[in-house]
Amino acid sequence: MVTFAQLTQLRPAEFGEAADGWHKLSSAASAAKDRVSDDIATQLQKLLIGEGVDAAVVRLRRLAQNFHYVQVESGLVRAALNGLGEELGAAQKKLLDVVAEAEAEKFTIKPDGSVHWVEADPTIPTTPQKSVQGERPVVVIGSDADPKRAKAQEYADRVGAALKEATEVDTRYAQALGRLHADNDLNVSDADWVDAQRDMGTVRTATGSLAEGSIPKDKSPKENAEWWKGLSGDDKADYAALYPASVGALDGIPSDVRDTANRVVLAEKRADYQTQLNAIPAEPWKYQPGSKGNPMATKTTEWVKWDREWAGKKAQLEASLKGMGDIRKRFERDIEPGDDRFPRAYLLGFSPEGRGRAVIANGNPDTADHTAVYVPGTNAGFGNLAHDIKRATTLWTVSDAVSDGGSVSTITWLGYDAPQGAKAAVSSDYANNGAPSLNRFVDGLNASHEAGSPGHLTVTGHSYGTTLIGSAARQGDLNADDIVTLGSPGVQVGRATDLDVPRGHVWNEEASGDPIPEAGRMKHGRTEYHFDTGVDYVTPSNERFGANPMRTDTSGHGSYWDRDSETLLNQARVVVGDYDNVSRRGR
C-alpha cells in the first residue's frame, strides 16, 4: 500500500529521469547494432574471404542481435517508466489538491491519512481535536449534526481514493517491469524474441496513458506526418516501442522511424513463426500397403488427419519464413553474394500475415534525390521475395551509376496481395484492391521527403504490377513524376495522360518475345471501338496509348533487369531524370 507520506513526498519526475537513462541505452544499443551489423560484419564479409572471417562474422552478428534485443527491451522499460511517472503524478496531484483544499478550510491531514480539525466552538472551553479517516462507514450528511465532520469525511475519502489509485498504479507497473529483467547469456533465442513480443503486450496493457487508439488510422499520409511531428520525443519513442507494427505501417512518417519499428516486428514475428513451425508435429507416413482384398496402396489415416490439420499451416509458415529470411539477407547485403555495394536497407512496410507484405528500400527515400518504387506482378509474395528485392537492388546499382552524383533510393513495394498463377492474374481484383495502398504509399513518400531536394519520384511496374499502377491512377491520384511500365498486359486506362503524371512522362518497355502484353491485353487493356479498326484493347505498347516507347535489347518477360542491357539502362535513366539519353524505339 502506498502511504500518504510516500505519495506526497514522491517526485514523479524521477521516473522520467530514469526513463531518459533507459532511452539513452535503447538508442545507443540501436546505433551499436547498426554499426556491428552494417559497418563491421558486412564490410568484413565483403573485403575478406575464408573460414576465419566467416567465424568472426558469426560472432559479430550474434553481438548485433544482442544489441537489437537490448534496444527493444530497454525501450519497453522506458515506456513503462514514462507511464508510471505520469500515472503516479496524476494520483499525487489528486492527493495534493485535497491537502490544499482541506488546509484552506483549516483541516489538517496527518501522515496516516486521517483528517483532523479543531472545533472552534466558543461554548466549548477545551477545543477538542476531532478526526476521521477514509474507508470508514461514510457519515450520512443530514443525520449528523456536525457539518464539519461530513466535510472531513469527504476529504478523508478523497485521500483514501488517491492512495488506492497510487497503490494500484504501483502494483500494475511493478508487475509489468518485473517481466523486463535481462537474462544472463549471449544467445538471443527465438524464445527471447517471443518473450519480447509478450513483454510488449504486458507493458501496453499496463500503460494507461498511451493508447493504440490515438495512433491515426485511415488518415491521409499528410495527417499522419502532422500527428507524428506534433508528438514529444518521449511519446514518439514510446509509440515506436509499444506499437511497432502500427508505427511501421504509417505512411507519411519518417522512413528511419518506420524502418526501426518494422525491424522489431520482423525479429519478433520471425521467432514467433519459427516457434509455431517447430511445434507442428512431424508428417506421418503417407502410404500404407494394400491388403489382400484391396491391393492398392492407400493413404494412412494419420497422414490424412495431419494433412487436414497441419499441411496448409506448415506451407504458409514456411513461405513466410522464407520471405523473412530474404529480408534479413538483404539487411546483411548478401542477397547477391559478391555483388557491388548497396546502400542501407529501410524496411518501410512489413507484415507476414496472409501472403505477406514487405516494402524494402535501398537507400533512404526521405533524403534521396531520385526514388523509384517498383511494383511487382503475378506470383510476387514471401515465397519468392528475394527475386523482387534483387530487381530493385539491380535497378539501384545502375541508376546510381548514371545519377551524376544525385542520391538514389529504389524500393520493392510488395504492398498488395499479388495474384498467384496465370489464372488468378486474369482478375482485376488484385490490382483494384491494392491500388489505393500504392497511392497512399506514394503520398507518404512525398510527405516524409525532407526539404532541400526535389525528390523526383518514379513508379515502375512489371507485368500485373503495371495493371495495379493504372488502377491506382484510375481510382485516385498517383502522385508520381514518372511512370515506367515493363511487359504490361494493360493498365485499365487507354491513354498515358490518364496516368496522372505530366504529359510525356510515361515510359514503356516491351522486350522481344515477351508474350504478356499480347496475352493480357484483352483482359487488362482498355477496350475501345474505332471506326477503322474495330475493337481494340489498348495497352502501353500501343502507339495510340501515347507512352514513350523505350528501346530494349533483351528478350522474354523476365528480362527487364538483365545486367548491362539497354533495357535496364533506359529505366535507370528515367529514374534519375536523364530523359535526353533514353534511347527510344524507332529512332
Partner 1 sequence: MTFNQEWEQLKKDASDRLQLASAGVTKGDNGRGELRSSRTAWNQASQGVGSVIGIMRSAVGGLTEGQRGAGGGDAAMEGLLSAVTQGSVYRSWQRKIELLHRECDELKGKLEKSGNAFYYTDSAIKDAFTEQQTRPDEKPDTGRPAPGEGGQSRW
Residue 540 C-beta-side C-alpha neighbours within 13 Å: 35
3 versus 433: smaller Cβ distance to partner 1: 3
119, 121, 180, 289: which one contacts partner 1 (CB under 8 A)?
180
Pick from 32, 150, 161, 522 the residue near partner 1 by CB under 8 A: 32
3-state secondary structure of 134: coil
From the list 36-44, 140-148, 270-278, 412-420, the region that binds partner 1 by CB under 8 A is 36-44
15 binds partner 1 (CB under 8 A): yes
Verify binding: residue 36, partner 1, rule CB under 8 A.
Answer: yes
Q: Does 141 bind partner 1 (CB under 8 A)?
A: no
Contact flag: residue 37 with partner 1 (CB under 8 A): no
Strand partners, 486: 462, 509
How long, in residues, is the chain? 587
The closest of 433, 434, 428, 443 to 477, measured between CA atoms, is: 443
Asked if 336 and 390 count as a contact pair (C-beta separation under 8 A), the reply is yes
Is residue 40 close enough to count as binding partner 1 by CB under 8 A?
yes
Q: Report, in Å, the least distance between residue 343 CB and partner 1.
A: 11
CB of 382 to partner 1, least distance (A): 31
The answer to the question of residue 96 lying near partner 1 (CB under 8 A) is: no
Residue 373's DSSP bridge partners are 411, 459
CA distance 457 to 451: 14
Nearest distance from C-beta of residue 24 to partner 1, angstroms:
4
**Residue 250 exposed, middle or buried by CB count within 10 Å (0-12, 13-18, 19+):** buried
Q: Which is nearer to partner 1, 3 or 420 (CB)?
A: 3
Q: Which residues pair with 549 in a beta bridge?
A: 508
Question: 109 exposed, middle or buried (CB, 10 Å; 0-12, 13-18, 19+)?
Answer: buried
Nearer to partner 1, 128 or 178 (CB): 178
Q: Is 173 in the site for partner 1 (CB under 8 A)?
A: yes
C-alpha distances in Å from residue 369, one per residue of 254, 344, 399, 425, 454: 16, 16, 11, 34, 6
Interaction between residue 29 and partner 1 (CB under 8 A) = yes
Distance of closest approach, residue 565 Cβ to partner 1, in angstroms: 21
Is residue 438 within 8 A of residue 431, CB to CB? The reply is no
Rule CB under 8 A: say whether 25 interacts with partner 1.
Answer: yes
Distance from CA of residue 319 to its chain's centroid?
A: 19
Binding to partner 1 (CB under 8 A): which residues in 317-356? 340-341
Choose, by CB under 8 A, the member of 138, 141, 174, 422 that binds partner 1.
Answer: 174
Pattern of binders to partner 1 over 44-83, x per CB under 8 A?
A: x-xxxxxxxxxxx-xxx--x--xx--x--xx--x---x--
CB nearer to partner 1: pick between 283 and 340: 340
* Cβ-contact 77, 180 below 8 angstroms: yes
Contact call for residue 242 and partner 1 (CB under 8 A)? no
C-beta neighbour count of 147 within 10 angstroms: 10
Question: Please, what is the minimum distance in Å from the beta carbon of residue 68 to partner 1?
Answer: 12
Among 68, 178, 426, 554, binds partner 1 (CB under 8 A): 178
Closest alpha carbon to 385 in 328, 337, 442: 328
Q: Strand, coil or helix: what is 492?
A: coil
402 lies in the binding site for partner 1 (CB under 8 A): no
99 binds partner 1 (CB under 8 A): no
Task: Name the one residue in this structure whose C-alpha cell is 547469456.
Answer: 185
- Best CA proximity match to 315, nearest among 225, 382, 370, 388: 382
Stretch that binds partner 1, among 22-30, 360-368, 438-446, 566-574 (CB under 8 A): 22-30
Q: Which three cell numbers stand for residue 138?
A: 461514510
Which residues make up the interface to partner 1 (CB under 8 A)? 2-3, 5-6, 9-11, 13-15, 17-22, 24-25, 27-29, 31-32, 35-36, 39-40, 43-44, 46-56, 58-60, 63, 66-67, 70, 73-74, 77, 81, 84, 88, 169-171, 173-174, 177-178, 180-186, 340-341
